Amino acid sequence: MISFQLNQNDDELIDLALKEDLGFPYADVTTQLLFKDLPGNQKRTVKMISKHNEPFVLCGLPIINALTKKLSGSYAIEPYYSDGEIIEPGTTILLLKGDTTGMLMLERSILNFVAHLSAVSTLTKRFVDKVQSSGLKILDTRKTTPGFRHLEKYAVFCGGGVNHRMGLYDALMIKDTHVDLVGGMEKVMTLLPEVQKHKYPVIVEVRDQQELKIVLEFGRKKITRILLDNMNPAELENCVRLCAGIIETEASGGINLNNIEQIAKTGVNYASVGMLTYEAGRVDLSIKGVLGTER
């Protein structure tokens, strides 16, 4: 089972999701009208099922647990699968037991989170499967949904990908804009102390072999990885050859399912893929039982 701890940002995002659906204080006027005469708050069981037309990678169970804790009442989740497992079409994924009104109030938020995160995991796995024999590692990027970064990067991990930096605060990443504004790659290299003096990994983006040669000449002891940006496979292969046995490499820019295998053949160590998060979409899920059809 994959271990994952929600952070403060995730908790605030869950609060926001509930507030935008239920208002504040929380209210579901339809449920309150239809169930106001029930003797107490009846306990029921509902199930989450896959309506997706192909297998997908499950992600988002910790979110369901966190959502149930935001409402009064008692709830119990009985999962049949864990995050990271493959869900076949038509499969019952879990049972949710608890107060009828609460489950009606949570239904859409649960589906929104799990459907999106599972789509990210599923797309990541498609990339990972295509290059599994090569050793190429698939990285995510900062091209994430605002507020969702920690969750989306968890989803990438569930799909077999590797997390890149979380933000601007946990890695030194020198990009083309930095190089141009500082005054060129040689100048950048003079500003960097040796890598062991840094608290963070140091990644430098290069646009061509000329910049790469400068980095290899002046920065071997100053960086941990070279990012080869927007290169065609021939250029990429030449640059990877120059770095072999010296420093790890990363490909970036325009990477998709159609060209990832060709990129893997160049011998590059990593490929960062923005579309893992910004083009994943959602898988098709439903909650059935007393909830009836999906709203």
How far is the C-alpha of 255 from the C-alpha of 270, rounded, in Å? 11
Active site (annotated) includes residue 222:
no
Task: Answer whether the bond into residue 233 is a cis peptide, omega within 30°.
Answer: no
- Which of 43, 70, 108, 137 is the catalytic position? 108
- Which of 99, 211, 229, 250 is the catalytic position? 229
Helix, strand or coil for residue 92? strand
Q: How far is CA 205 from the centre of its chain?
A: 23
How far is the C-alpha of 268 from the C-alpha of 154, rounded, in Å? 24
Residue 219 per-residue DSSP state: -
Residue 136 per-residue DSSP state: P
3-state secondary structure 146-214: CCCHHHHHHHHHHCCCECCCCCCCCCEEECHHHHHHHCCHHHHHHHCCCHHHCCCCEEEEECCHHHHHH
Q: What backbone phi and psi angles, to 5 degrees, belong to 26?
A: -55, 135
Alpha helices in the chain (DSSP H): 8-22, 29-34, 61-68, 100-130, 149-158, 176-182, 185-191, 209-218, 233-243, 260-264, 275-278
| CB environment 38-48: b (16+ within 10 A), e (fewer) | eeeeeebebbb
- Which of 44, 130, 137, 143 is the catalytic position? 143
Active site (annotated) includes residue 11:
no
Active site (annotated) includes residue 175:
yes
CA torsion angle for 108, 110, 112, 116 (degrees, to 10)? -160
Active site (annotated) includes residue 205:
yes
Active site (annotated) includes residue 143:
yes
- Which of 47, 126, 175, 213 is the catalytic position? 175
Report which residue type is found at 116: H
The catalytic residues are 108, 143, 175, 205, 229
